[in-house]
């Protein structure tokens, strides 16, 4: 019959426990892929929103420019015709059919 007596720790002195904390930082490759895809999707969405806002701003500016050019053309035509604009069709007609440059 054999008996074992333990006289201290089984591990020799100076032998430290393993440090597994480095394994806590390892991510699953699927998880990394989904995070990367989400970042790319968000970047694409933000880029599209920025593009849309810029396009709306430019279209608004262009409409203002077109309106301003139309008013300039009307003012120039009014100067040439003595304040009366001919009807669309160019035949003049009754006075009520003619418009002045100021719209009255």
- Angstrom distance (rounded) from CA 100 to CA 29: 73
Q: What's the predicted TM-score (pTM) here?
A: 0.42
Task: Give CA–CA dist 36/97, Å, rounded.
Answer: 66
Q: Identify which has the larger pLDDT, 95 or 55.
A: 55
Residue 36 · residue 62 · CB < 8 Å: no
77 band by pLDDT with thresholds 50, 70 and 90? confident
Sorted by sequence, the CB contacts under 8 Å of residue 21 that are 6+ apart come out as: none
Per-domain residue ranges for the chain? 46-104
What pLDDT is stored for residue 9 in this prediction? 58
Whole-number average pLDDT of the chain: 75
Is residue 83 within 8 A of residue 100, CB to CB? The reply is: yes
Q: How confident is the model at residue 40 (pLDDT cuts 50, 70, 90)?
A: very high
Pair 75, 101: CB distance under 8 Å: yes
Question: Which backbone phi and psi does 89 adopt, to 5 degrees?
Answer: 125, -20
pLDDT of residue 48: 97
């Amino acid at each position: 019959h054999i008996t074992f007596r333990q006289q201290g720790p089984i591990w020799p002195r100076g032998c430290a426990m393993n440090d597994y904390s480095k394994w806590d930082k390892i991510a699953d490759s699927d998880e990394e892929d989904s995070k990367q895809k989400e970042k790319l999707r968000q970047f694409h969405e933000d880029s599209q929103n920025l593009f849309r806002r810029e396009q709306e701003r430019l279209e608004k500016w262009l409409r203002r420019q077109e309106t301003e050019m139309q008013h300039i053309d009307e003012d120039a035509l009014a100067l040439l015709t003595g304040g009366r604009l001919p009807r669309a069709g160019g035949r003049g007609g009754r006075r009520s059919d003619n418009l002045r440059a100021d719209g009255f």
